[in-house]
Amino acid sequence: MQANLKVRRFNPGEPGAQPRFQEYSIDVHPDSTILDALIQVREEVDGTLALRCSCRASICGSCGMRVNGRARLVCKTRVEHLAPNGEQLTIEPMGNQRVVKDLVVSLDTFFNQIKRITPYMQPDKEPEHGEFIASNESMTNLLTAMNCIMCGCCVSDCTVLEVDPNFIGPAALAKAWRFTEDPRDSKRNERLNALNNEAGGIWDCTRCMQCVEVCPKEVAPMERIMEMRDAAIEAGNTNTSGYRHTESMYNSVKKHGRLDETRLAIDSAGWTNVPRMLDLAPIGFKALLRGKMPPILPHKAEDKQKIKDIYEKVEGERK
């Protein structure tokens, strides 16, 4: 079958070089992956094309690239699947990471993020019998995050990293969760407190689900981040706008069955945070003039007692 590839080329090492697209049209085996096609281009058409791969079986995590705007392991993606009728495939290097050449990005960004979360176990004692004994459940629980092959796809497409390179990022935060949940680690609270307080920590994730969608190993970093938010609150961290934001929503739905937008904004800022209040005021005022200010008294669901009952039931179970 025909594979039509439009590949982003860029060699920063060449003086004056600018990124450009180059098109290749080749005949590939119907079972070809996009990686097979790119290797074929390099071997048969254009030896100057740079790409990185190793295992070719979605184990090593080396061949993360953007295909039609979305990060994927190209060894795990077949040409036929995305372009059954020879549609053009746009292949670019991953995002949010520095391009070394063509489709190869530097691993520095990724590993600098990993380093920030102290990526090793910190036990507080020597094991009694030469090894630590951990329960089966506690280890299977960690499997989701331990499946990470460090391919960087989630980092590539994270919408927060796009605007804030200081964000710790999805892969490293999933890794952090792996240690906060490991019964052999003794620094759970210290880890949670740091991730709660640090700029670029757990509260900066915008819950866009890109990392969940693109991860080839179902690590679901966002879910791990949400678990750590909850764990950080339980560990006593109630000093963040994020905490107040969630609480406000939780209480609004409990009380009215509905979201109370006015309260949400004010509660999140904190009632005593005067600068933030003043900051919210002009926008509220403009909205009021246009007749679209959220009602001061929120719209209520009928029969809201039923909603409260559900709260009490489910909350009772958790205790």
Chain contacts with another protein (rule: CB under 8 A): 69, 159-160, 162-164, 203-210, 212-213, 226, 229-230, 240-242, 245-247, 249-250, 252-253, 257-259, 261, 264-265, 268-269, 279, 283, 286-287, 290-295, 298-299, 301-304, 306-307, 309-311, 313-315, 317-318
Answer for the pair 207, 160: CB distance below 8 angstroms, yes or no.
no
Stretch that binds ligand SF4, among 21-29, 40-48, 76-84, 149-157 (CB under 6 A): 149-157
Contacts 24+ apart (CB under 8 A), 197-204: 197/237, 197/239, 198/168, 199/166, 200/164, 200/166, 200/167, 200/168, 201/168, 202/173, 202/228, 202/229, 202/232, 202/242, 203/229, 203/240, 203/241, 203/242, 204/160, 204/164, 204/167
When asked if residue 99 is in the footprint of ligand SF4 (CB under 6 A), the reply is no
Given the complex with another protein, which of 160 and 174 has the nearer CB atom?
A: 160
* Shortest distance, position 300 Cβ to ligand SF4, whole Å: 31
Given the complex with ligand SF4, which of 95 and 216 has the nearer CB atom?
A: 216
When asked if residue 115 is in the footprint of ligand SF4 (CB under 6 A), the reply is no
User: Which of positions 222-241 make contact with ligand SF4 (CB under 6 A)?
Assistant: 222, 225
When asked if residue 95 is in the footprint of ligand SF4 (CB under 6 A), the reply is no
* Shortest distance, position 231 Cβ to another protein, whole Å: 12
Q: Name the residue with tokens 């960690």.
A: 142
Given the complex with another protein, which of 180 and 240 has the nearer CB atom?
A: 240
Given the complex with ligand SF4, which of 67 and 205 has the nearer CB atom?
A: 205
Nearest-angstrom CA–CA distance, 104 and 53: 9
Please choose which of another protein, ligand SF4, none residue 198 contacts, taking the beta carbon within 5 to 8 angstroms, the exact cut-off set by kind: none
When asked if residue 34 is in the footprint of ligand SF4 (CB under 6 A), the reply is no
Nearest-angstrom CA–CA distance, 110 and 96: 9
When asked if residue 149 is in the footprint of ligand SF4 (CB under 6 A), the reply is yes
* Shortest distance, position 69 Cβ to ligand SF4, whole Å: 15
* Shortest distance, position 162 Cβ to another protein, whole Å: 8
Nearest-angstrom CA–CA distance, 33 and 264: 48
CB burial of residue 145 (10 Å; 0-12, 13-18, 19+):
buried
* Shortest distance, position 192 Cβ to another protein, whole Å: 15
Please choose which of ligand SF4, another protein, none residue 253 contacts, taking the beta carbon within 5 to 8 angstroms, the exact cut-off set by kind: another protein
When asked if residue 53 is in the footprint of ligand SF4 (CB under 6 A), the reply is no
Please choose which of another protein, ligand SF4, none residue 219 contacts, taking the beta carbon within 5 to 8 angstroms, the exact cut-off set by kind: ligand SF4
When asked if residue 74 is in the footprint of ligand SF4 (CB under 6 A), the reply is no
Site string for ligand SF4, 157-196 (x = CB under 6 A): -xxx---------xx--x----------------------
**Alpha-carbon torsion angle 306, 308, 314, 319, nearest 10:** -150
Given the complex with ligand SF4, which of 1 and 60 has the nearer CB atom?
A: 60
Which one, of 132, 205, 194, 117, lies nearest residue 162 by Cα?
205
Buried b / exposed e along 290-312 (16+ C-beta atoms within 10 A): eeeebeeebeeeeeeeeeeeeee
Q: In what order do the strands lie in the sheet with 70-73?
A: 20-27, 2-9, 88-92, 64-67, 70-73
